[in-house]
Every structure is written in structure tokens, then in C-alpha cells.
Amino acid sequence: MEKKPSFILASKSPQRIRLLKQAGYTFGIRPCPYPEPSIEGEPRDGVLTVAGFKADQVAQNLDASQEDLLVVGADTIVVLENQSLGKPQSLDEAFAMISRLQGTVHSVLTGVAIASKKNGILESWVEESLVEMDSLSDEEIWKYLRQKPTCEKAGAVDIESIDFARVIKGSYSNVVGFPIESFQEKFSTLEQRSSLL
């Protein structure tokens, strides 16, 4: 008999799916069908807003058989000098992003929100990790991009497949795409609280 899912993930990100499965979770997958809201202002506020939007929109559209499940939404960006870098839309944009990030220490922010159909957003937070990237020549950047032509990562950097950047503070899984450690703690607390209601 198939194990009942613990929650619904409002994302189709292969990295998030893999990290959560490796952590032992059983969950459904339902990406948010609506365009993400465009956000201006503080990067932290932006990732929280987008994560909350994804979780809440999917939660509100659950059918009766799933309406008791919690929904998890997330959004990850790279931040350099208070400017947000999302996923590149082209190779040229990816090159421009890595050109800016090379030789710097920058932040990776992931907003996470957990929602229910009945009560809306129950928990949300931002996880920050610091990444240090070596100085790179244009030739080195293009060599990397030729190996990863369809890079779908914030800031165009796949931390798992490179040796020119490293996490120097905070969660490694957050840089991959989802902060497993803080999620485990907060989700466990929410599950316990729900079981008492």
C-alpha cells in the first residue's frame, strides 16, 4: 500500500524534490499554476512573498481528498549588493550573472512558506547562506556554461558541479535549492501542533 503523503510541494524543482526525498519525506507534487508576482524592494521580502504565494495558491485549490494536507512553497535567489539574481533566461544572461558573481562573497536566500487550505500561511521564513566564488576569466565562465547550457539555478550557478565556489556560512542544501535542516525542524513542529487540534 502506498504511503500517504506528508505534504504537497508547490514546486517542480528537481533539486527540491531530490533533497526532500533524500531526507525521507513522502509528498505530492503540484507546481503553482499561476505566474509568480513581480516583486520590488528588499530581496528577503521578495522571496517570502513568492514562497507564500505559491504555497497559498496551491493550498486554496486542493480538492476535498487533500485539503487537510499542508502545502510547502519555496523561492530561491542569489543576492549581490542588495540586488536579486534569479534564473537566467539565456546563456548571455547566465554569463552576465556569473561575471558579476565571480570574485565575490554573495548571499543565497530561500524563502519557505507552509500553508493549509483552512488557515492560509502557517509558517514562513528566509534561510541565508554565504557563497564565496573564485575570480574567473571570461573563458572559464564560458567553459562552465558550455557544460551546463540549460542552467536553471538562481544566479546560473550549480554549486554541486563546480569547484570554483563554496558555501562559507549557512546551509549547503539551501544553496542547492532548499534548506532541509530548518524545514525539518519547523515542519515537525507544525505537524505536532496539527495533531493536537
Quote the CA–CA distance of 190 and 183 in Å, as a whole number. 10
Told to judge if 75 belongs to the known catalytic residues of this protein, a careful annotator would answer yes
Q: Do β-strands 83-85 and 70-80 pair in parallel, antiparallel, or remain unpaired?
A: antiparallel
- Encode 152-188 in three state secondary structure: CCHHHCCHHHCCCEEEEECCHHHHHCCCHHHHHHHHH
Helix (H), strand (E) at residue 132: strand 120-133
Q: Which of 45, 75, 134, 163 is catalytic?
A: 75
Chain center to CA of 49: 13
118-125 contact pairs (CB < 8 A, 24+): 118/67, 120/56, 120/59, 121/52, 121/55, 121/56, 122/70, 122/190, 123/186, 123/190, 124/48, 124/51, 124/52, 125/48, 125/182, 125/186
| Residue 72 amino acid letter | V
DSSP-assigned letter for residue 148:
S
Residues serving a catalytic function are 75
